Amino acid sequence: MISLVSPVRTRAHRWPAGGKLLAVCIATTLLFPVQDIAVQLAAAAVVGLLYALPGRVFLKAGLRSLRPLLPFVVILLLWHAVTRDVGDGVRIVLRMVTLVALANLVTMTTTLAEMMDVLHRVLGPLRRLGMRTDRIEIGVALVVRFTPVLVARASALSLAWRARSLRRPGWRLMVPLVLSAFEEADHVADALRARSLLE
């Protein structure tokens, strides 16, 4: 899940969060063992159509949020080209992009509160066994919320580097990005302690 909720309202915003998450699980289970590239292409086309139906603004936002996948796509295709197994590489890339795009579509049409409500209900049996599930719920919420924040932070660091140097930043951004993530984690931990949500 990469993006946050889209400001463009769609019919999918009104669908139950549990149903959308279940649909993603079923689609993943069905699509993962498929080896036929034609079926993978058809699935990718269906997901692309789901992005296009709400309009150009929604489609552009969805495609923009999938850009972090591009390095993985390039690496996978290059590796399979070197190993002379391009067909398998295309299958893996199609499957990865389709399923991530489908999961991203859910996050674009589902609020974090709705997803946390589903998680709270799913973890109900564990609470009845005496387990504390609040930390799991907070952890999942933080991952979903701060993934796009860290992506935006990496983009800002990259822009700052390009404004000061003609060389590509590459690995040089890793240290400031990691330090920034640690600093953000400290702030979040302090906020949770202040609200007695973290012991």
Domain boundaries, the chain: 1-111, 123-199
Per-residue DSSP letter, 84: T
Helix (H, G, I), strand (E, B), or coil: what is residue 9? coil
Q: What is the mean pLDDT of the chain?
A: 83
Q: What is the pTM of this model?
A: 0.70
Are the CB atoms for 17 and 115 separated by under 8 Å? Answer: yes
Percent of the chain with pLDDT over 70: 95
Are the CB atoms for 180 and 153 separated by under 8 Å? Answer: yes
Q: What is the pLDDT of residue 118?
A: 86
Q: What is the pLDDT of residue 196?
A: 67
Query: Could you tell me where the DSSP H helices lie in 10-133?
Result: 17-31, 37-52, 56-65, 70-82, 86-109, 112-122, 124-128
Burial class (CB in 10 A: 0-12, 13-18, 19+), 13: middle
- The tens-digit pLDDT sequence of the chain (199 residues) is 444 677 778 887 888 888 898 999 999 999 888 888 899 999 999 999 999 988 888 888 888 888 888 888 888 889 988 888 888 889 999 999 999 999 888 888 888 788 888 888 888 888 888 887 877 888 777 777 777 777 778 888 888 888 887 777 777 778 888 888 888 778 777 777 777 655 5
Q: What is the pLDDT of residue 124?
A: 85
Percent of the chain with pLDDT over 90: 13
Q: What is the pLDDT of residue 199?
A: 55
Q: What is the pLDDT of residue 65?
A: 81
How far is residue 11's CA from residue 187's CA, in Å, rounded to a whole number? 36
